Amino acid sequence: MTHTCPRCKQPGISNLAKRWSSRAVPAQCTVCSGLSHVLKSTDNGIWAAGVVILVVSLIGALGLNSALFFVSGLVLAVALNIRAWRRAKMYPISQEAVANASKVGLAMLGVYAFLGLFQ
């Protein structure tokens, strides 16, 4: 399945490219070669909702002593994940913004590595 590119409005972005897109590593459209990404807040929200559903279903399954409760929670989390990623909106991004986001990411990695030396 391909998703609609926000630039050319043609289906040219694969599922995997959309799921792994970010400001530093955007998805590239196969039709127009435009770059776009899903906002990090949307990405984190989808992930957090899945984790909450799994934790609640695990607690419920342990409390009720029913594996079926956990399995139903797992199915619900997967269904929500698929639906949410299909509905997630992509935003176009320029090559300059990608370069800046990559520089910031590398700088933060350096800061974390430096701070890790003092732990």
The pLDDT tens digits for 19-75 are 999 999 999 999 999 999 999 999 999 999 999 999 999 999 999 998 999 999 999
**Residue (of 55, 46, 119) closest to 88 by Cα position:** 46
75 in the same domain as 53: yes
Domain count, the chain: 2
Say what the pLDDT of residue 2 is: 87
69 in the same domain as 98: no
Taking the model in full, what pTM does it have?
0.79
Mean pLDDT of 75-100: 94
Say what the pLDDT of residue 51 is: 96
28 in the same domain as 48: no
Residue type (1 letter), 35: L
93 in the same domain as 35: yes
**Full residue range of the structural domain in which residue 94 is found:** 1-39+89-119
69 in the same domain as 93: no
2 in the same domain as 35: yes
The CA–CA distances, whole Å, from 27 to 8, 54, 70, 112 equal 14, 29, 34, 26
